[in-house]
Amino acid sequence: MYDVIVVGARCAGSPAAMLLARAGYRVLLLDKARFPRDTLSTHYIHQPGVAKLGQWGVLDDVVATGCPPIDRIVYQVEDVRLEGCSWGVDGHRTAYAPRRHRLDPVLAAAATAAGAEFREGCQVEGLLFDGDRVAGVRCTTSNGRFEERARLVIGADGMRSTVASLTGAPTTVEDDRRSCVYFSYWEDLPATFEVYARPHRLVGTVPTNDGRTLVGAYFPQSEFDRIRGDAMTAYLESVRTTAPEVHERLRAARRAERLYGTGDQRNFFRQAAGPGWVLLGDSGYHKDSIGNSGITDAFLQVQMLVDHIGDGLRDEAGLDLALGRFGRDRDEHFLGLYHGTLKAAGLEIQPERVTMLRAIAGRQDLVDTYFATLSGACEIDDFYTDELFDALALV
Ligand SMILES: Cc1cc2nc3c(=O)[nH]c(=O)nc-3n(C[C@H](O)[C@H](O)[C@H](O)COP(=O)(O)OP(=O)(O)OC[C@H]3O[C@@H](n4cnc5c(N)ncnc54)[C@H](O)[C@@H]3O)c2cc1C
């Protein structure tokens, strides 16, 4: 009998397994994949996420994968250009964008180092129940089937969560898909984290491992069926027309990988928890990838959950209360970000936003504060101060 079984061993599952094992619980971590294994992502970890890695003692191992430090952001909307850096969190002002086949094994290794048992190549296909309480999992591997029991099953198994569908976790918030995205990796492309936006288009660059820079292009979901027919042409055309300076740099660069993409950018919250189960990361709350925040959000949720559970995991009634509190905190903390992400994913350029960006463009302190609202290092209310309104009045 385990205290916890964690299904899914990436950004949500592995840190949860690590922290619960460090807290003295007996933890089994399962993933159907065998690591290292890539997954679709543009990799950017905001300062609050980097701070969590630092607090957990795994940041050095992530940095040791060779992902370059990112401490300058370029953000261009129409003719307005901002350059700066988010505020830091706990002294961490540098962001990182590690490839997922590098990051996720580091997180899983930290979980096993903490004492969690990790089984790869194990697909959870069923749940065990004691009455209406989830009491374990049923798994399939290449060698056959097995069952394991636990007081708590954590579904950290991504957007298409098996645990969510087996528990029947209802969707509590749901919105239409807004965007689709295509990206590839380029060598010899000097870049920092750069974002260029115009109506219905957004292009970004993200420096990552092995001297490669990711170049991505977002399009409206309404164009997905047309674009997917010849995605490479649409991708290069969008870079040329949305970020001409990046397109110019591509001339001296070499595309090192194929084009990746997805239109399956779902937007939802599911009920976070029930008797003996809880959803963590993308399984419980998923939004368009345009805000680059799923990894950071997963880390923050992990800490939230583990703090709520504390030393009460073996007390059934106390555990259920803790899971309920986690669900309420999760929704309260992330609902604003969710709606902000949906707005950004609409790829509209609101004139009042351009006016605001133009007003702060010459003010480095306001630019950095603005980037801090995007990273989550600063509350939005702390940005809309008298100082900002004074700057706006000058435009
Ligand atoms: C195109 C794109 C770009 C993105 N860019 C960024 C970005 O720049 N920054 C950022 O922060 N976020 C980004 N994200 C979001 C980020 O990738 C996710 O939010 C993050 O991966 C969520 O982590 P997770 O651990 O919840 O789920 P996942 O990463 O989906 O991991 C789930 C794991 O569960 C395992 N699993 C699933 N089902 C089972 C089962 N039945 N049994 C056993 N194991 C199972 C899977 O094998 C997988 O390893 C992006 C996403 C996309 C699609």
pLDDT attached to residue 302: 98
pLDDT attached to residue 46: 98
Mutate to test the pocket of ligand 1, among 282, 283, 375 (most ligand atoms within 8 A of CB): 282
pLDDT attached to residue 159: 98
Q: Is the CB of 95 under 6 A from ligand 1?
A: no
CATH number of the domain at 2-43+99-175+266-345, out of 3.20.20.70, 3.50.50.60, 3.20.20.100, 3.90.79.10? 3.50.50.60
Kind and range of the H or E run holding 327: helix 316-345
8 Å CB contact between 394 and 359: yes
Q: Is the CB of 40 under 6 A from ligand 1?
A: yes
Q: Is the CB of 282 under 6 A from ligand 1?
A: yes
CATH architecture under which domain 179-262 falls? 2-Layer Sandwich (3.30)
Q: Is the CB of 32 under 6 A from ligand 1?
A: yes
pLDDT attached to residue 207: 98
pLDDT attached to residue 395: 55
Tens digit of each residue's pLDDT (9 = 90 or more) over 365-385? 999 999 999 999 998 888 877
3-state percent helix, strand, coil for the chain, nearest multiple of 5: 40, 30, 30
Mutate to test the pocket of ligand 1, among 14, 18, 42 (most ligand atoms within 8 A of CB): 42
**Which residue do the tokens 């939230």 mark?**
304
Q: Is the CB of 46 under 6 A from ligand 1?
A: no
| Closest atom, ligand 1, to C-alpha of 161 | 38
| Pair type for strands 27-30 and 117-119 | parallel
Residue 169 CA to its chain's centroid (Å): 21
pLDDT attached to residue 383: 84
Cα 10 to middle of ligand 1, angstroms:
7
Q: Is the CB of 292 under 6 A from ligand 1?
A: yes
Phi, then psi, of 174 in degrees rounded to 5:
-150, 135
pLDDT attached to residue 118: 98
What is 338-388 written as a DSSP string?
Answer: HHHHHHHHTT---HHHHHHHHHHTT-HHHHHHHHHHHHTSS-GGGTS-HHH
Please compute the mean of the pLDDT values over residues 309-313 and round it to a whole number: 97
Stated pTM of the model = 0.97
8 Å CB contact between 333 and 297: no
Q: Which segments within the chain are labelled E, that is strand?
A: 2-7, 27-30, 73-77, 80-84, 117-119, 123-130, 133-141, 144-155, 171-175, 179-187, 193-198, 201-207, 212-220, 254-255, 260-262, 267-270, 273-274, 277-279, 285-286
pLDDT category, 388, cuts 50, 70, 90? confident
What residues have CB less than 8 Å from 386, skipping those under 6 apart?
none
Among residues 267, 264, 285, which one has the least CA distance to residue 169?
Answer: 285
Cα 365 to middle of ligand 1, angstroms:
34
Residue 386 has pLDDT above 80, yes or no: no
User: What residue spans in the chain does CATH classification 3.30.9.100 cover?
Assistant: 179-262
User: What residue spans in the chain does CATH classification 3.50.50.60 cover?
Assistant: 2-43+99-175+266-345
